[in-house]
Chains A and B, each alone.
Chain A
């Protein structure tokens, strides 16, 4: 009996953590870019499905080409390299190209207009993805099937979700170290407070801009790549995730890594417990949370800049 309850709770917690992982990877980039570059980029959410679509194509191609020949370890390593390295790298290049062309002209204009303009960009990106990958759902479950599932009293659970949690925790830890301990990280934090002052010291702020931007996009793409093997990607996903990305932003606070971690965990857990016990309120709970935070602490849990 106790075993049953514990295993039930374990599954809900794992669900919450893996949901939090996706939200963290998506929301951190948005938060960093907005907080540090003062660029409110709705189109950021589109980089997650872009990562997922690309991951799907690469996985399908790999399975087609070498599926039978590599052993378990070999195939796993290939998948890992594709999803954790190749997909974020390629999507970052796309992101950089878009930065120079579509995003740069929008820096410095009012938030409202940035919102409108980037909303237009997200719609265009959705259409482009639909043009390339079609309107039907795309899935590629090979990496998850490779790892398989483990048994619990109530059912089974996929190892891939556990791996997602671990990889994301590692990424979060690395980012934390980066911002708190390294020189580049500290410069970035300083830029968030006062970019002009940093510029006066002779540091090339534009190159820092680009680095933060790339990190943000790469994280979103990684989020998409890790998300794909236990789900699917279809048109409209970007718009679905925009809302959640903003929830992370508002609850966690702009430009705050700690905030993004905290917010993702909170939203992930609320959604997991909510949809288990009170499914009808699942989405409502997240918005309730957002509204509460905005009333009590408008800058978000760890933010200093007003939302």
Chain B
């Protein structure tokens, strides 16, 4: 088996005994010709603006992964990846996408954090037949609404359904003492979508809790004092919050000052990256999700790829990959590369973009966050839901007593939209 990923794949899948046709010298009995010119990959993420809390670690991880692949020769050990970074923080994302797909002729476009942006470019990706890998956006509307029959666009991370339905199941199965629940989410698409999904899941699953308050704070927001005062007064047992970035930092900092978390358990479904920003402010024993099991610390019996990834990232950038985006970048790039290598190894020919599409469908591979796969009939990867309690250690914050909920329980099947699926749980 040829491949940049061969060693990794072999090690993780126990296929160390595979022979490598490339060792047989010039003889191309191992397969057809591999293009000489480098693969052009565009990576798009927020490297400026508030969402750079996601984009910066994501881009750093992408850079690291591409460098590692190129160090081993590139895709299939031969074709180098030429990666260029682009800031998602532009007014004309569609123009940017078209330019990259047409005039700049990128072979694959990997990117997008913002829901609004991905919904704009998804139809264009299909129109231009441009291989596109969405790496971080959570919006369930991507395949429920914007592009219901995708060909060239894939998403290599799970949608917000894992966060919302996962939190609901967590309540039901692991937190039976909770009686009152409140929501504190940012007042924009992501915050509203999250709360909507969570609320519907709680209702649909028939969980015996009272939803006492649903707050939507301005986005962005620096002053949470009154919101916190109001929550102190209603005193819910549990808070569902999809807060992220500077807003989450402010919320947690001010909540600490006002003692909100003394008798209220918050669950920050997408807030794990904030731990990297304010490690000293994180109280003991509050719940964090990482948009899936994308967290560097804790005794969760991670696979060997996890340790390697965390260590490489730490060595390269001097800080651990607290942000889930770092893991998502790994998944996106390796998904693309594995799909190419798998197609080549199976057919003996370097795949065209349509052959790449076929190879991506149904792909499954080991990642630092466990086994990642794209169910048949879907262009959307599913991930388990993952939550843990913050545990302050000497030089880091780990997540303990983690709960993993299987992908089938927190992602809609390929045949249903998220809304339909949740309402019929």
Residues of A within 8 A of B (CB): 8, 11-12, 14-15, 18-19, 130, 134-137, 139, 141, 144, 149, 151, 154-158, 160-161, 227, 230-232, 234-237, 240, 271-277, 279-280, 282-283
Contact = CB atoms under 8 A, between A and B. Distances in A.
Interface of B: 47-50, 52-53, 55-56, 215-218, 220, 222-223, 225-230, 232-233, 245-246, 249-250, 253-254, 257-260, 262, 276-278, 280-281
13 contacts: A12-B229, A15-B226, A137-B53, A137-B245, A149-B258, A155-B228, A156-B258, A230-B253, A235-B49, A236-B49, A272-B226, A276-B229, A279-B216
A130 B259 CA distance: 32
A134 B276 CA distance: 14
B260 to A, nearest CB: 6
B232 A136 contact: no
A44 to B, nearest CB: 18
Nearest to B234: A154
B50 A235 contact: yes
B259 A8 contact: no
A231 B262 CA distance: 19
Given A275-B227, A279-B227, A136 B258 contact: no
A139 B217 contact: no
B259 A139 contact: no
A231 B254 contact: yes
Contacts of A136: 52-53, 56, 276-277
Nearest to B52: A135
Contact of B216 (A139, A161, A280): A280
Contacts of A271: 223, 226
B259 A149 contact: yes
A276 B226 contact: yes
B227 A139 contact: no
Contacts of A231: 222-223, 249-250, 253-254
B223 A234 contact: no
B278 A135 contact: no
B400 to A, nearest CB: 24
Q: Ordered nearest first, which 3 A-B pairs have the shortest CB separation?
A: A135-B52, A156-B259, A234-B246
B228 to A, nearest CB: 8
A236 B50 contact: yes
A141 B216 CA distance: 25
Nearest to A275: B226
Contacts of B220: 236, 240
Contacts of B227: 275-276, 279
A235 B280 CA distance: 21
Contacts of B47: 135
A10 to B, nearest CB: 10
Contacts of A276: 226-227, 229-230
Contacts of A272: 225-226
A251 to B, nearest CB: 18
A235 B232 CA distance: 30
A8 B233 contact: yes
Given A135-B56, A234-B246, A19 B223 contact: yes
B222 A240 contact: yes
Nearest to B222: A231
Contacts of A161: 225, 257
A232 B253 contact: yes
B234 to A, nearest CB: 10
Nearest to A272: B226
A232 B277 CA distance: 10
A21 to B, nearest CB: 12
Given A12-B229, A135-B53, A156 B257 contact: yes
Contact of A8 (B55, B56, B229, B281): B229
Contact of B260 (A139, A155, A234): A155
Contacts of B52: 135-136, 235
A240 B50 CA distance: 12
B180 to A, nearest CB: 15
Nearest to B215: A279
Nearest to A18: B225
B239 to A, nearest CB: 14
| Most chain A CB inside 10 Å of its own CB: which residue of B216, B226, B258, B259 | B226
Contacts of A154: 229, 232-233
Contact of A237 (B222, B254, B258, B276): B222
A282 B149 CA distance: 41
Given A18-B225, A236-B49, A271-B223, A137 B258 contact: no
Contacts of B254: 230-231
Contacts of B257: 144, 149, 156-158, 160-161, 230
Contacts of A275: 217, 223, 226-227, 230
A231 B228 CA distance: 13
Contact of A155 (B217, B226, B262): B262
Contacts of B218: 282-283
A139 B253 contact: yes
Given A230-B253, A276-B226, A235 B48 contact: yes
A229 to B, nearest CB: 9
A201 to B, nearest CB: 45
A273 B230 CA distance: 10
B325 to A, nearest CB: 12
A279 B246 contact: no
A139 B249 contact: yes
A155 B49 contact: no
Nearest to A9: B229
B225 A15 contact: yes
Contacts of B253: 139, 141, 230-232
B229 A139 contact: no
A232 B256 CA distance: 14
A12 B229 CA distance: 7
A139 B262 contact: no
A230 B222 CA distance: 10
A94 B67 CA distance: 40
B386 to A, nearest CB: 23
Nearest to B276: A136
Contacts of B228: 155
A53 B246 CA distance: 14
Contact of B281 (A139, A274, A282): A139
Contacts of B278: 137, 139, 141, 232
Contacts of B262: 155-156
Contacts of B223: 15, 19, 231, 271, 275
A18 B258 CA distance: 14
